Amino acid sequence: GDSVTQMEGPVTLSEEAFLTINCTYTATGYPSLFWYVQYPGEGLQLLLKATKADDKGSNKGFEATYRKETTSFHLEKGSVQVSDSAVYFCALSVGGTYKYIFGTGTRLKVLA
């Protein structure tokens, strides 16, 4: 079945370090891909999305490219800030339906 696999955390970085959080997926059809972020004590918020192969989603300095050949959607940011500390979820929506599959989440901690 459809699934999303994320790298396990926690990921601890110093401020201004480069961030990569890996995400790979398995899906039938053509899913849309998402990254959501969850700050402590809050619900999830959409960070970025991509709806077809080779699309690049970007927001707040974060980027991810929909790679169909490697079934990946890795999240990157060139210079993280303390305020980026949160849990990041990779997700897909199953093509043609409204079912959503989320990864297990990766906790990011950025130290000043």
Partner 1 sequence: EAQVTQNPRYLITVTGKKLTVTCSQNMNHEYMSWYRQDPGLGLRQIYYSMNVEVTDKGDVPEGYKVSRKEKRNFPLILESPSPNQTSLYFCASSTRTSGSNEQFFGPGTRLTVL
Residues that bind partner 1 in the complex, under the rule CB under 8 A: 4, 6, 32, 41-46, 49, 51, 89, 91, 93-105
Q: Residue 15 CB, nearest distance to partner 1 (Å)? A: 27
Going from the C-alpha of 11 to that of each of 23, 28, 48, 110, 111, the distances in angstroms are 14, 30, 20, 8, 11
Q: Residue 7 CB, nearest distance to partner 1 (Å)? A: 13
**Length of the chain in terms of residues written:** 112
Q: Residue 5 CB, nearest distance to partner 1 (Å)? A: 10
Closer residue to partner 1 in complex, CB, 9/17: 9
Going from the C-alpha of 110 to that of each of 15, 47, 50, the distances in angstroms are 6, 18, 26
Closer residue to partner 1 in complex, CB, 31/74: 31
